[in-house]
Structure formats: structure tokens, C-alpha cells
Structure 1
Amino acid sequence: MGSNVENLGALERRFDITVSRENLQNEIDNRLKRIAKTTKLHGFRPGKVPMKIVTQMYGPQVQQDVLNDAVHKEFKETVKEHNLQVVGYPRFEEKLSDGDAATIYTVSATFEIYPEVVLGDLSKHNIERPEVQVSEADIDKTLEMICKQRTTYESVERAAKAGDRVKINYRGMIAGKDFDGGSANDVQLILGDGKFLKDFENSLTGMRSGDDKSFNVAFPEDYHNKDLAGKTVTFEVKLISLEEPVIPIVDENLAKSLGIDDGDLGKLREGIQKDLEREVSRRIRTKLKEQVMQVLLDSTPLEVPNILVNQEIERLMQDAKNDLEARGMKSKEIPLSAELFKGKAEYRIKLGLILSELIKEHGLKATSEQVRSIIEDVAQSYENPEQVVKWHYASPDRLKEAEALALEENVVSWALGKIKQIDKSVSFDELMGIS
């Protein structure tokens, strides 16, 4: 006890731990005696192996274990004495002792501590609160989008144009030679959707079912496939089928397909308006939450422990790799630098420390009613809300996620009571980020 703690940086600390080997001998002897009671060795009855042999067999390991236990015990006591909140695990390094190394064991313990979180004055900050009125035009746009999502296609005998769906066979060649991935059959695409290069899709315009056509396409210098970047490819294309889009109109049939039993368009519009207003409320809350979190960060200067940042970087990198694999890409072929994730990792750790302190300082808690409300709100986006609710309650981990969201909502509500809010009128499209 009473070790001097050295500051190596904002959050890095170090102190020495000295242990007398002589003081540990009793514990070493006791452990060896316990081991001797169960030691089995050919030529001796169980538990009757001489202590000298037991010591030869297990002595070095037992001595090291006792030393390690003593070091960890001393570490915990010193940390408690100095009221240090340690992050992760310390790094122990053996030091050459000034005394007899046979009797004195000295190590240095290097570690990081949690920072002191001092919440700033939120009343000095302003944020914008979006004000949105759902208009008839917004409802019309939503209906138009719903109709487009229900587009079907019918075969036609005419020249292909933008918006048509075509099925083609194609063969690509560079300087008269085939290349990997340059040919395919029964490929379906919608002209103008941008699935293929613009020049390729434009060259299909005007073709009819059964037509064959040959044309050149210049691939851009920055094309993602380096083997094709900057090259001119000659394509031979056969158009197998041609279909035009059939977009449903807004009528009682559409209303019925959307759950309005009597096909009343007025009820359909009312339902859409309620859905849009519910989405507006969510988006406004999200905008406010984003601003509140930024204010908390701006008003609370904070150093973050490197160990936590590095752990978060590892998590983010793994998430990115999983996402790439889910998209059919090989993560090993795409280099991911830790530096790419450092900023986001620091942001998350800082915010997490601030929120944790704020929740503790102000005694914020998530009620069961709040958790239920969050789960039910999420469930409304699915066809069978009741099943989704049961699914959440069947998993402690999923419940914890909902509780964390409820706690964040309580933080936002608390902060909004401190931060000045300035109303700003915006359109529905602006709020939704629709250009």
C-alpha cells in the first residue's frame, strides 16, 4: 500500500508493486500440501507422494501462481486506495529489484483509467426543432410512389424505350477476344435504371424483340473493374423479350389492396396521412436526438481511453467485414484500415461515457411502459405486430436493446428541458431528405 502512482498521460497511470517472496512461503507450502493430497504417481499410493517430489513437480508453477495472486491483490488495494477507476486489464512488467531478486519480486503495473466526466452547461446551446405539416401534395406523392412500387409488366411489340423491361443475351469482347464475365444469357434489366453503363442501356433503345445488335461501349477510366477501366468493349446483344410498365391507378381496387375493405379513397388518404404524420414525428425526434447528442459532446470536453477506442475499432471493423460478406464480397480482398474507423469509435466511446454519467447523476431509468411502447412502435412496421412484440420479449438481449433506447429517449427529454429550441418550418421532403 502507499505506492506512488505516476501519470504517464491524460489517462495512463503506472506504479510499482513489490512483493517479498519470504512472506509468501506459507501460502506456497499450503498449496503444495493440498496438491500432495490428490497427486498420483506410479509406485506411490494416492496422496502419499513425498513432499520433496511434489515440490519438484509443482513447486515452480505454484510459486508463480502465488506471486501472481499477490501482485493482483496489491494492485487492487492500491487502485482502491487512490480511488482509480481502471479500464480493462493492467500490463505487468517484471523489474530488476534493488535488493536480492531471490527474495524480492518487483513489477510495474501500467494501465488506463476512466476519465472524470463533467457535464457542461447545456443552457448555453441552441438547437433547431423542425416544424412540418403533411400536405395533400405529400399524400399524392406517397400514393404515386405506392403505385410505382406495384408496377407490373406486359409484353409489347414495338421499339424499346426508357422504362421498359427487357431480357437480353450479350457477349462482350475486347479487341475481338472474350473476357471473364463478359457474356451472359437471360439478363433482365429496366432501361434507364442504371444497372448497366448508360451507353450500354442507351444502345438497347430502339431494339425490338428478336433483334440482334452490335455496338461499342467505352468504359470509364475509374471503372471498378480494373481489367475494363478505360477499355472499349464490343457487345453483341440479342433482345429476347420486351415489356412495358403498367402502373396501377389510384382507385378503389388499390384502396382494397391496401387494407381499405370498402375501397373508400377518403379513408385511404386519411390512413396515409396518419402514417406520414407518425413518420414525421419519428424523424423530428431523430433530428432532435442527433442535435442533443452533438451538444452533449460539444459541451463536455473528454479524453477517451485508448483501450476502449481500440476495442470499438475492432467491433466496427468486424461489422464492416460481416456487411461485405453479406453483400457477396470477400472482405479479405478489401483492405480495411483501423484509421478509417477511429473517428467513429472515439465518437461512440465519448458519447457512451457522457450518457452513462448523465444517467447515473440524474437517476434516469427506463420504465417497463417505455420499453413496451418502443417495442410496439417498432412492431407496427411489420405485417404481424403481435408476433414481433413476443419475439422481442422472448430474448433478454433484445429487451436490453429496447431498454437502452428508452434510456436514450429519457436523456434526450432531460436535455431538451435545458437546451433552447428554435422552431424551424421545413417541408415534408426536406425532413425526409428527399431532393
Structure 2
Amino acid sequence: MFWSNKMQVLDDNTQNLNRTITITINSEKLSKAIEKELINMSKTIRINGFRQGKVPMQIIFQRYKNSIVQDTLNKLMKENFINIMIKQKINVIDIPIYTPGTYIENSDFTYTVEFKVYPIIKLKFLEEIKVEKPLITISDYDINTAIDVIRQQNIKWIKQDTIAQKEDRVTIDFISYIDGKKIKDGKISDFILILGKGHMIPNFEDNIIGYKPGDKFNINSNFPKDYHLKFLRGKTVNFDIKLKKVEKPIFPELNKSFIDNLGIKDGSVSSLRNIIHKNMELESKSLIYKSIKNQIVKEILQLNIIEIPIALVNHEIDVINYQSLQERKKNKKLHTDSNLPRKSLENKAKKRIIIKLLINNISNQYKLETDEKIVNKMIEEIASIYKDPQEIINLYKNNDDMINNIRYINIEKQSIDIVLSQAKVIEKEIDFNTLVSQFKETTDNI
């Protein structure tokens, strides 16, 4: 072994997650690593008077010694710390802080790392948890509903010179005002809206019904008090609207031509229904798992079984805010508040922490390992709903992040199975669409 370590527990209290470790890298390993880095650099470095790859090692080392040593030390410090954490099965939170010692040539190198860890929890509480396990039945009604949705997604819109009615698609221009003053960026052109879907604020869509193309009119709408933009919360906004176009929906017939266009080779209704049934079975498995996981977390919170460290809650809220910021950047919605209120995120953060604590502790205490056969089966199952399953399988196999996520899900599912084996489980029959609706209506899913 080319390194040694000594870990100091700063505080074994569950509310303090700070730890430090002192690691020493053997001089022999360090010298070999520096030499390797030097050889790699010599293959690409260009120095006047020498051909590429022919620069003497001594000259390279003289010129680039500091950067070579620093790069090597940085790499070894991280590698050794990660190896120790894996070997000792310590779960690290956040980014570790590395403090290097003094480098002396041909001597051992010592450095320290400060980091935070997930606390260890006792699993005796599992028998106190009560879980309602859904038993899903997929009926003809569920499949018929899915077919109706597919038909709605393939509607053709026909332009007509008639008054706008519910379920029509309209194209409008509008300018918005508060107290007679135009709102910044409140002028919108060629805005497309399906009436009656509730996509806009209350009364906005209803007030367009009855007008025809070319009409200009004025409406008032009240914004909710919890609207995401602060300056609009609880305000009455006046809209000057011009109705430019009204389109009526034409639903496609369920025939061979329509089914062919969906990518079903034989174009038969029975094949379409079979594929929908298979997709519903896959979605059912996912919904059942999510339902059980949500219930377990909710039970742990209600029973106050796990003491969640404040430091961990604060860290998770920072993670949620960061993820939210990245999502807003991606969707170009940076005009919204930079951070969500911490109080509103506390419950979400606690739920995420509980599932992490549960998985980490169960996987360590039960020595769970990834089953690669099951991982491959999970990937094949995901791929089966796509037109070219092999393409999706290859995508996973060639992407470490994607396949590692499936491996984590495999460990998570094993952990949930262990919870269920000890918890009080009650089975309850439920139809597919009811369970889907419950998930859509629930805002606190993990």
C-alpha cells in the first residue's frame, strides 16, 4: 500500500457531520507518478530546437517542474481520498476541502481533507412503518382512454371564420396593463391558446369565448396571490386583445392509416391496444414503486423516526436551489426569483435526505451490491417502448452517468424491498387511471 491515513472525528454528534482525515502518500508512489506525468508531457511538448517527442526529460522537468508536481499532487490527493472513502464505505456530502502539506522531493507527502458525511441510523424502526401497496388492474376503459389521448395529440386544426368556443384553438395578440400602465414585456404577438384547458390565469380563456377573428376587445383577470412572479401576485391585470384566428379541432379516425403513422407495422387496432397495454404495465411498475417510496418517507417524517441534521437540510436546500437555477437557465426563465424561499423547500429537502439516508444505511448494513443482470434487464425494459430498442440500449451502455443511475436505482429498489419485508404492508386494488391521476394531483412526490 502506497498511502496511509488517520481519520479524526471532529464531532460524533448527529447534528455535526464534519470529519477530517490525514493522508500520507508514500514517496516511491509519488516519484513514479511524477515520472509518468513527465513522460506523458514529453510526447506532446514543443520546444524550439527540438522535434516533438524528442525534448530531453531534464529540460522538460527544469521548465515545467512546478506544474508537473502540482498536477500530480492534486490528482493523487483526490484519488487516494476517494479510494479510502470507498474502502471504508463512507458516504461523503458536498465537495471535500483539501489542504496540502509541504512537498519535499523524495519524501512522503502528507495532506488533510475536511468533509461531511451522512449519519448512520438504526434500522429497528422499519417495523413501525405502514405501507399501502397498490395492486393495479389495467382495464379496457384505461386503454380506450389512452387511445383517446393519442387521437387528441394528433388533432388537425381547421381555420374557420366563426366565433371562438371551448376547445377551439385561437391565435391572439395582447397588451397587458396594471393600473393603466403597460407592463414591461407585456406585449405578446401570435400567442396560440386552446380554450378551456386552464393553461392561463382564471377567466382569461372564458372571456375570449364568443368573439370572432378580427374582433378587438378588453378583459380583466385577477392573478393568484401565490403566482410565481411577485409583482403580479393578487393584481388585477387589464388585457387589450385582438383575436386573429379561430381553428376547430378535427379528430383522426382510428383506422389503419392512422395506426400506420404511429409506427405500428400491421396497422391493426389489436396491435395498438397490445402496445398500449405493455406500456401501461411498465408505467404501473414505476408508479407502484414511487407510491411506496413516497409513503415510506411520509411515515418516517410523521413518526419522527430519524433525526435529520440541520446541516444536511441546509445543504440539500442549496442543492435544490442550484438545480432549479440550472433548469431556469436551460428554459431561459431567469427573470424569476433567483432562489425559492428556504422555508418552502425545507419539507422537500427533508424527504430527499430521508431516502438518501435510508438507501445509504440499508445498502451498507445489508452489504447490498449491484446485480448487473438486473441492471441490463432494467435497461432492456426501458428500451422496449422505443422504436429502435437496440439504439437505446447502446446509448445507456456508452454513457457512464446513465448506466450508473440505473445501478443506483437497482440498489435503491433492493433497499425498498428490505423495508417492505419488515414494514406492515396492506394491499389495495386500484385502477391504472386513478393511480395516474393521484400522482398528477400530488405536489409532494419525491
TM-score interval (norm. to shorter): 0.5 to 0.7
Q: Provide the rounded CA distance (Å) in 1 between the counterparts of 2:187 and 2:16.
A: 59
Q: State the shift of 1:145 in Å.
A: 0.9
1:399 aligned residue: 403
Letter of the 2:390 counterpart: E
Matched, 1:217 2:224: no
**1:353-368 superposed matches below 5 A:** 353-368=357-372
Give matches, 1:23-42, under 5 Å. none
CA shift in 2, pair 1:288/1:263, >3 Å:
same
Superposed, 1:263-342 pairs within 5 Å as 263-292=267-296, 301-330=305-334, 333-342=337-346
Q: Deviations over 1:265-314 (max 9, x none)?
A: 22222222222223223222332333445567778944455544443332
CA distance in 2, matches of 1:115, 1:176: 57
Is it true that 1:248 corresponds to 2:252 in the alignment?
Answer: yes
1:186 and 1:412 map into 2 onto residues whose CA distance is: 50
1:142 to 112, 125, 146: 146
Find the counterpart in structure 2 of residue 190 from structure 1.
194
Distance 1:267 1:321 in 2: 43
Identical-residue share of aligned pairs (%)? 24
One-letter identity of the residue aligned with 1:287: S
Whole-Å separation in 1 of the counterparts to 2:293 and 2:406:
16
1:115-134 deviations in Å (ceiling 9; x for gaps): 44321153454422212221
1:426 counterpart SS class: strand
Counterpart-to-counterpart distance in 1, 2:413 and 2:147: 32
Gaps of at least 5 residues in structure 1 are 15-82, 93-109
Q: Please give the alpha-carbon distance, in whole angstroms, between the structure 2 residues aligned to 1:265 and 1:409.
A: 35
SS in 2 for 1:417: helix
Q: Cα 1:328–1:9, aligned 2, differ >3 Å: closer, same or farther?
A: same
Q: Structure 1 119/139 Cα, relative in aligned 2: closer, same or farther at 3 Å?
A: same
Within 2, Cα distance between the matches of 1:121 and 1:368?
30
Post-superposition offset of 1:170: 3.6
Question: Within 2, Cα distance between the matches of 1:289 and 1:174?
Answer: 45
Q: In the alignment, which residue of structure 1 is the partner of 2:209?
A: 205
Displacement of 1:162 in angstroms is 1.5
User: Residue 50 of structure 2 corresponds to which residue in structure 1?
Assistant: none
Aligned to 1:379: 383
State the distance in 2 between where 1:158 and 1:269 align: 37
Deviation at 1:148, TM superposition (A): 0.6
Number of residue pairs the alignment of both structures matches: 347
Closer, same or farther: CA 128–197 of 1 in aligned 2, 3 Å? closer
Letter of the structure 2 residue corresponding to residue 226 of structure 1: F
TM-score normalised by L of structure 1: 0.66
1:120 matches 2:135:
no
Does the CA-based 8 Å contact 1:122-1:299 persist in structure 2? Answer: no
Q: Distance in 1 between matches of 2:9 and 2:368?
A: 34
User: When the two structures are superposed, what TM-score results if normalisation uses the length of structure 2?
Assistant: 0.65
Q: Equivalent residue of 1:243, what SS?
A: strand
Secondary structure (helix, strand or coil) at the match of 1:162 reads: coil
CA-CA distance at 1:155 after TM superposition: 1.5
Q: Corresponding residue for 1:151? A: 155
Give, as a single letter, the amino acid of the residue that structure 2 aligns with 1:190. I
1:363-387 residue CA offsets vs partner (Å, 9 max, x unmatched)? 2211111111222233334443322
Distance 2:366 2:279 in 1: 35
Moved more, 114-123 or 158-167: 114-123
Farther off after superposition, 150-159 or 173-182? 173-182
For 1:226, the equivalent position in structure 2 comes to 231
Corresponding letter in the other structure for 1:147: R
Cα 1:334/1:422, change in 2 over 3 Å: same
Secondary structure at 2:205's aligned position in 1?
A: helix
- Aligned-partner residue type, residue 271 of structure 2: K
Unaligned runs of 5+ in 2: 1-7, 19-87, 100-113, 442-446
Moved more, 166-175 or 383-392: 166-175
Secondary structure in 1 matching 2:164: coil
Shift in CA distance, 400/383, structure 1 to aligned 2, threshold 3 Å: same
TM-fit CA distance, 1:358:
1.9
Contact 1:375 1:392 in 2 (8 A): yes
Q: Read off the aligned partner of 1:373 and give its amino acid letter.
A: K
In 2, the alpha carbon distance for the partners of 1:313 and 1:200 equals 35
**1:390 CA drift (Å):** 1.8
Q: Larger deviation: 330-339 or 257-266?
A: 330-339
Partners of 2:174 and 2:331 lie apart in 1 by 25
SS in 2 for 1:226: helix
Paired residue type of 2:211: M
CA distance in 2, matches of 1:5, 1:195: 54
Shift of 1:232: 5.8
- 1:84-141 deviation per Cα after TM superposition (whole angstroms, max 9, x unaligned): x897879x9xxxxxxxxxxxxxxxxx99876443211534544222122211111111
Note the alpha carbon deviations across 1:367-425, whole angstroms, 9 max, x for none: 11111122223333444332222222223332221111111111222333333422211
Distance in 1 separating the partners of 2:391 and 2:294: 31
Is the contact between residue 264 and residue 271 of structure 2 (CA under 8 Å) also seen in structure 1? yes
Cα distance in 2, alignment partners of residues 277 and 131 from structure 1:
12
Bigger mean CA offset, 307-316 vs 167-176? 167-176
| Matches for 1:5-20 after TM superposition, within 5 Å | 11-12=15-16
1:209-231 deviation digits (Å, cap 9, x = unpaired): 3x333334254474646369544
Q: Residue 156 of structure 2 contacts residue 251 of structure 2 at CA under 8 Å; is this kept in 1? A: yes
C-alpha distance in structure 2 between counterparts of 1:323 and 1:302, whole Å:
31
- Aligned letter for 1:122? L
